[in-house]
Amino acid sequence: MFQQWKTHPSIRPTFEGGERLAYGARALNEGGFQSIPKLTFPGGALVGCAAGFLNVPKIKGTHTAMKSGMLAAESAFSAMQALPEPAEAEEAAEEEEEMPPPFTGPVADLGPYQSALEGSWVYEELH
């Protein structure tokens, strides 16, 4: 579109005799509906470009990345609100007989992020 605009009779004189100073390019991590992975794991989530929320036919993805970040943040906030108080978590850890993992605190469950995204316009747009 921009290339066509530059050749318009009223615009062409602006560019005639000009010298290109640099080239521009975009690296696209292709994604789209068929590439969406499982979005959550214990204590974390894949959001935005990391999850491949690029609308490949339109080469657009900023709005989908931002919305996925908003949904992940809402899920993270809810998950953190549901975590036990530190004293309760320590008591539960003391009751376990197995060797504890390196991180002994509670882990936030971000599972609702996946279903929130699937119910949003992002999922519909990518489909």
Q: For residue 81, how many other CB atoms are within 10 A of its CB? A: 8
Name which residue leads in pLDDT, 106 or 103. Answer: 106
Name which residue leads in pLDDT, 100 or 23. Answer: 23
Give Cα 118 distance to the centre of its chain. Answer: 13
Nearest alpha carbon to residue 27 among 3, 51, 53, 59 = 59
- Buried b / exposed e along 43-56 (16+ C-beta atoms within 10 A): eebbbbbebbbbbb
Q: Find which of 27-41, 57-71, 86-100 is predicted with most confidence, using mean pLDDT.
A: 57-71
Q: Determine if residue 109 is left, alpha or beta; phi over 0 gives left, psi from -120 to 50 gives alpha, anything else beta.
A: beta
User: 44 pLDDT exceeds 60?
Assistant: yes
User: According to the model, what pLDDT value does residue 71 have?
Assistant: 93
Reduced to 3 states (helix: H, G, I; strand: E, B; else coil), residue 46 is coil
Which tokens hold the place of 91?
A: 């008591």
Q: What is the pTM of this model?
A: 0.61
User: According to the model, what pLDDT value does residue 87 have?
Assistant: 64
User: 39 pLDDT exceeds 80?
Assistant: yes
Inter-axis angle of helices 111-118 and 62-82, nearest 10:
140
Q: What percent of the chain has pLDDT over 90?
A: 14
